C-alpha cells in the first residue's frame, strides 16, 4: 500500500468519524429540572428516584430542520415564571453555541480539504 493510499484511507476514516460525531450533534437538549437529584458516579450524571415528583422544562433544538420543541410540566407553565425565563436564556445561549460549533466544523472541514489537496498535489 502506498503512502497516498494510506493517507486516503486515514482521511476516509477521519471523515467517517466526523460524520458520526455530527449525527450525534443533530439535537441539542436543554433541560431545567426541579426535584431531588442525586449524582450517579457510574453514568457521570444527575438522576432522580423513580416515582419522585419532578418538575421540568425540556427543549430540543434540531439542527437540520431548525425546529425547537419545548415540553414542560404544569407547574413550569403556570407557576415558575423565573425558571421559564432562565430556561429561555439557556435556549438563546444554546443557539449561539450551535452557531459557533457549526463555524468551527466548517473551518475544520476547510482545513481537511486543503490538506487533502496538498497531499495529492491538486
Burial class (CB in 10 A: 0-12, 13-18, 19+), 70: middle
With b for 16 or more beta-carbon neighbours within 10 A and e for fewer, the 8-30 pattern comes to eeeeeeeeeeeeeeeeeeeebeb
Q: Write the pLDDT tens digit of every residue in 97-121.
A: 888 888 888 888 888 778 777 665 5
**In the chain, which residue ranges form alpha helices assigned H by DSSP?**
3-24, 74-78, 81-120
> In the structure, what pLDDT confidence band is assigned to residue 65 with cuts at 50, 70 and 90?
confident
Instruction: Convert the pLDDT of each residue in 9-49 to its tens digit.
Output: 766 777 777 777 766 677 888 989 888 888 888 988 877 77
Q: What is the pLDDT of residue 61?
A: 87
Given a cut of 70, is residue 83 above it in pLDDT?
Answer: yes
Amino acid at each position: 500500500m502506498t503512502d497516498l493510499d494510506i493517507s486516503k484511507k486515514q482521511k476516509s476514516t477521519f471523515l467517517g468519524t466526523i460524520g458520526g460525531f455530527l449525527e450525534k450533534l443533530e439535537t441539542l437538549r436543554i433541560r431545567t429540572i426541579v426535584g431531588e437529584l442525586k449524582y450517579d458516579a457510574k453514568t457521570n450524571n444527575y438522576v432522580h428516584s423513580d416515582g419522585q415528583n419532578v418538575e421540568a422544562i425540556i427543549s430540543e433544538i434540531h439542527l437540520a430542520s431548525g425546529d425547537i420543541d419545548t415540553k414542560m410540566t404544569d407547574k413550569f407553565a403556570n407557576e415558575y415564571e423565573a425558571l421559564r425565563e432562565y430556561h429561555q436564556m439557556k435556549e438563546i445561549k444554546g443557539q449561539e453555541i450551535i452557531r459557533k460549533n457549526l463555524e468551527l466544523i466548517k473551518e475544520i472541514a476547510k482545513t481537511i480539504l486543503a490538506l487533502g489537496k496538498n497531499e495529492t498535489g491538486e
